[in-house]
Amino acid sequence: MLRSRALACGLLLALSVAPCLGATPSASEQRMRDSIRSDQPHAIALLERLVNQNSGSLNLPGVTAVGEMVRAELEPLGFDVQWIDMRATGRAGHLIATHTGNGRGKRVLMIGHLDTVFEPDSPFQRFVRNGDSATGPGIGDDKGGVVIIIGALRAMHAAGSLRDADIKVILTGDEESAGTPLQAARADLVAAGKWADVALEYEGLIVDGGQDYATVARRGVTDWELTTTGITGHSSGVFGSGLGYGANYELVRILDAFRRELPEPNLTVNAGLMVGGTPATLEPGGARGSAAGKTNIVAERAVARGDLRALTPDQQARAVARMQAIVAQHLPKTGASLVFEDSYPPMAPTDGNRGLLTLLNQVNADLGLAAMGEWDPARRGAADSSFVAADVDVLAGLGAAGSGSHAEGETVDLASIPRQALRSAVLIERLSRTPR
């Protein structure tokens, strides 16, 4: 928190010397504006190529191919591009591109991802343009964001402001379905967060009521699996001293207590899958299950899987402790166990994150754009930026605006691409001129 407050103060100080583009644009900022405007055909053509290459998380050659397309864009800008093979985790890999500047300004980490939720067997495979919008698999999540990253960097390069900037771009190949073990799958991203002074994440821009919003916080996600057991036998003995209540009643007791006792602002607990009977099992991976039984048999075993979403580590820890306490209050003749599997940590709102938004809003004012408010974290999903939030101040949701993410018909607003690229280019240039 001390680091966040210090960075926030430094960023606010930088505002006092930041150039005002709205009145008298600096030469480099004007060149970036002109470059992005003229570069829009390149950006749209690149987006089409990226979208038409399937890169479902499990399509390892496809993810690798998208990484090579990005390499071809970044290497001419002076980036050292590496491909980190992640087949040991069951996924293709990550692209890491590093630009070495003069070492004096803020180090900026740009985060996005190469993969989509649409595997090769999906019928939704092609880029289709319709005026100022386009549809396609992953077009907004996150190939539009990748195009914005490239567009901002191309503009900085054209303006000469990239030369002195220290920037690292990490595009993961498994954001939509992380490889295992998770610690290995995100080790390079965590290390980059420790290197950086500022992290910018390029998941989709939120637009609501015609207003653009920024993301200074995301809830973390922790998966859980609840298993209950009981003594099986003829249903005539249920509730009695011999058989007790059975696994299904124990499962329902626990889930209903979660519903009644856990809700608080920014905290949710979802039960996504349940099976119960004699027997009841989940398949490896936990996405499918099976159960057998009869109306006159007391259930021997029940299993439920779900997720816990919390805004801060403290809120998450409190919820976990309360859930375990609820599980421990067994009905007669039953047992239960609850295990957690960490997924995405919380990206809590901090002074440093809000300081970045203040700096972005100065950029917006200078560009003649409306100020961006904070988006409600309870209305956003998790993202890779959460893995660096413990070490660096983060501003998220800097990608393309659109709708229908993760569904056939996913759409992007093409006009948001140059707007977002310009915002990022100016913001990063100012950060690169702010002393560390």
CATH number at residue 388: 3.40.630.10
Residue 367 contacts residue 423 (beta carbons within 8 Å)? yes
pLDDT lower than 50: segments of the chain: 1-23
The alpha-carbon radius of gyration of the chain (Å, integer) is 24
Contact call for residues 327 and 338 (beta carbons, < 8 A): yes
Give the type of residue at 302: A
pLDDT computed for residue 388 by the predictor: 98
Last residue of a domain, one of 315, 344, 373: 344
Closest CA to 384 of 350, 424, 344, 353: 344
- CA distance linking residue 238 with residue 182, whole number of Å: 42
Same-domain status, 323 and 285 = yes
Per-residue pLDDT at 24: 58
Q: Which two tokens stand for residue 302?
A: 């029940």
pLDDT value of residue 22: 43
Structural domain ending residue among the three candidates 288, 323, 344: 344
C-beta of residue 228 within 8 angstroms of C-beta of residue 302: yes
Taking phi over 0 as left and psi of -120 to 50 as alpha, with beta for the rest, 93 belongs to left
Exposure pattern of 192-204 as b/e (b: 16+ CB <10 Å)?
bbeebbbbbbbbb
Last residue of a domain, one of 344, 379, 413: 344
Q: Are residues 291 and 317 in the same domain?
A: yes
Q: Are residues 26 and 74 in the same domain?
A: yes
- Same-domain pairing of 84 and 52: yes
Q: Which residue reads 């910018």 in tokens?
A: 200
Number of domains in the chain: 2
**Are residues 97 and 134 both part of a single domain?**
yes
- Give the tens place of pLDDT for each residue, 226-275: 999 999 999 999 999 999 999 999 999 999 999 999 999 999 999 999 99
pLDDT of 422 reads: 97
Helix (H) or strand (E) holding 34: helix 27-38
pLDDT of residue 77: 98
Range of the domain at 11: 2-218+347-432
Q: Are residues 323 and 366 in the same domain?
A: no
50 and 156, same domain (yes or no): yes
Is 186 found in the same domain as 111?
yes
Distance CA 318, CA 27 (A): 52
Q: Based on the domain organization, do 15 and 88 belong to the same domain?
A: yes
8 A C-beta contact, residue 138 and residue 48: no
pLDDT at residue 23, rounded to an integer:
45
Provide the 8-state DSSP code for 330. P
Question: What is the dihedral angle through the alpha carbons of 373, 374, 376, 380, rounded to the nearest 10 degrees?
Answer: 110
HEC string for 340-400:
EEEEECCECCCHHHHHHHHHHHHHHHHHCCCCCEECCHHHCCCCHHHHCCCCCEEEECCCC
Residue 301: beta bridge partners? 229, 277
Contact 271, 296 (CB under 8 A): no
Residue located via tokens 């505002």:
15
Q: CA nearest 174: which of 97, 123, 112, 220?
A: 112
How far apart CA 347 and CA 310 sit, in angstroms, is 9
Q: In a 10 Å sphere around its CB, with 0-12 CB exposed, 13-18 middle and 19+ buried, how is residue 123 labelled?
A: exposed
Within this chain, do residues 76 and 144 fall inside the same structural domain, yes or no? yes
pLDDT of residue 381: 87
Residues 356 and 335 placed together within one structural domain of the fold: no
SS3 assignment, position 110? strand
CA-CA distances (angstroms) from residue 62 to 66, 129, 148, 173, 393?
Answer: 6, 22, 21, 10, 32
Q: How far is CA 64 from each of CA 71, 80, 81, rounded to the nearest angstrom? A: 10, 17, 13
- The CA distance from 104 to 101, in Å, is 8
Question: Can you give the pLDDT at residue 292?
Answer: 96
Taking the C-alpha atoms of residue 436 and residue 434, their distance in angstroms, rounded to an integer, is 6
Of the candidates 195, 176, 150, which has an alpha carbon nearest to the alpha carbon of residue 46? 150
- Domain shared by 113 and 74, yes or no: yes
